[in-house]
Structure 1
Amino acid sequence: MNVAAGCGLRQGEVFGLAVDDVDFLGGVVHVVRQVKLLRLHRPVFAPPKGGKERDVPLPESVAFALAGHLKRYPATRITLPWKTLDGPPVTASLLFTGPMDLALDRNRFNDRVWRPALRAADVETGRDNGMHALRHFYASVLLDAGESIKALSEYLGHHDPGFTLRTYTHLMPSSETRTRAAVDRVFQGDEPADDGPETAQEGF
């Protein structure tokens, strides 16, 4: 799922993503709802976890993937109650739907799509490899690229950057890693170093 891995959305937020939430020109995804299951596995639309809406950068690669998906599978108008089973009906043109054009059910999706895909790829189907792992992948990519904890916290929809730090501190590049990367960027840059006549030997 490109949206989960490339934008860090939670599973329910991916299922609740509507075409109007994606600003292709501006390169932004507006995370404003999720599909949530209440008792008897009945779905409702609800705010993102913690009630916190947010904007997430939309990478060009993910935008192209979404555009291709929309070309093959046009968005489907889905109406669900808001927050509670007797809540007011809300309609959204969802990007991802299940059989018979219904909102995706996380339990059915995990059983019939996610876990079979893991088994086909010879990956264990335990809790650590649930769809939530794609959020961890997103976090690791951003931290490895030098993104700040504050920005990552905002993109993930966390209330407290301290929580983000505690959760992902083990993924942060070490000072040694940053040092090697900084030197490598200079040595492998497009502009050749000025090796004057006094350079005695390559590699110094």
Structure 2
Amino acid sequence: MRQGEIFGLAVDEFDFEGGWLAVSHQLKRIRGKYVFALPKGGKVRDVPLPAAVATVLRDHAKEFEPVDVTLPWRTPDGPLVTKRLVFSGVEGRHVRVSNFNDHHWKPALAAAGVTPAADAGARYVSAREHGMHALRHFYASVLLDSGESIRALSTYLGHSDPGFTLRTYTHLLPSSEGRTRNAVDMLYLASTTRKHPPEKGKAP
């Protein structure tokens, strides 16, 4: 999910029983004012919700009660809509992106040694590759490494064109020669196992 989609995540978008998450809107800043709006490109989508992630989100909701936030829809003068947000900022309001990036995300990266610490009174070094968008790239790499298709990944990321997803993440695809070696190795491993069953009375 993109940063705005994460901060706009609402309770009613979860289907814990079915294992799905609906990405139906985002928190967006327009001319200094925050609004709720459709995801980038209007790409509303459903994303598989792994059990491990569902557990973390349930635990988070128990410790930090979701909050009702009312904002204009799509434009600063649009009709007001209310969403029960999973992640909140100060004073029970929505997360302010600039505050989160400067006072939470970047300090966490520095503490982990990913980026240099900021000098006293100075701002952290700004680098696109260290933004929250990097989490989308990580997600893509995990799925591709596990054999997920480009078309499915494109749907989950909210891309309108699988070709764009392929061009963006082709460097993360397992090499064809690596897949060839693994496929033949697994074939011979399976064949050898069948030809040489464990001796009677011995554990396999």
TM-score per shorter chain, which class? 0.7 to 0.9
Counterpart residue number, 1:89: 80
After the TM superposition, which residues 80-119 of structure 1 pair with which residues of structure 2 at under 5 Å, given as runs? 80-119=71-110
Counterpart residue number, 1:173: 174
* Conserved 8 A contact 1:43-1:103: no
After the TM superposition, which residues 1-204 of structure 1 pair with which residues of structure 2 at under 5 Å, given as runs? 9-40=1-32, 42-124=33-115, 126-182=127-183, 193-196=193-196
Measure, in 1, the Cα distance between the counterparts of 2:182 and 2:64.
42
TM-score w.r.t. the length of structure 1 is 0.86
Measure, in 2, the Cα distance between the counterparts of 1:78 and 1:86.
16
Measure, in 2, the Cα distance between the counterparts of 1:99 and 1:183.
56
User: In structure 2, the residue corresponding to 1:84 is in which secondary structure?
Assistant: coil
Alignment coverage as a number of residue pairs: 187
Measure, in 2, the Cα distance between the counterparts of 1:188 and 1:10.
42
TM-score w.r.t. the length of structure 2 is 0.86
Measure, in 1, the Cα distance between the counterparts of 2:194 and 2:147.
28
Instruction: Report the RMSD for the aligned CA atoms in angstroms.
Output: 1.9
Measure, in 1, the Cα distance between the counterparts of 2:80 and 2:192.
63
Among the aligned pairs, what percent are the same residue?
Answer: 59
Residue type of the alignment partner of 2:194: D
Q: Which has the larger radius of gyration?
A: 2
Residue by residue over 1:38-88, the C-alpha shift from the partner in whole angstroms, topping out at 9 and shown as x without a partner, is 112x11000000011000000111001101101101111110000111100
Q: Which runs of 5+ in 2 are unaligned?
A: 116-124, 198-204
State the Cα distance separating 1:119 from its structure 2 match.
0.4
User: In structure 2, the residue corresponding to 1:77 is in which secondary structure?
Assistant: strand
Measure, in 2, the Cα distance between the counterparts of 1:172 and 1:178.
10
State the Cα distance separating 1:138 from its structure 2 match.
0.5
Residue type of the alignment partner of 1:24: F
Which of 1 and 2 has higher RCO (CA within 8 Å, sep 6+)? Answer: 1
Measure, in 2, the Cα distance between the counterparts of 1:14 and 1:127.
18
State the Cα distance separating 1:188 from its structure 2 match.
7.6
* Conserved 8 A contact 1:34-1:47: yes
Residue by residue over 1:107-163, the C-alpha shift from the partner in whole angstroms, topping out at 9 and shown as x without a partner, is 111101100000000002622111000000000011111111110000000001111
Measure, in 1, the Cα distance between the counterparts of 2:136 and 2:187.
31
Residue by residue over 1:16-47, the C-alpha shift from the partner in whole angstroms, topping out at 9 and shown as x without a partner, is 1101101100100000010001112x110000
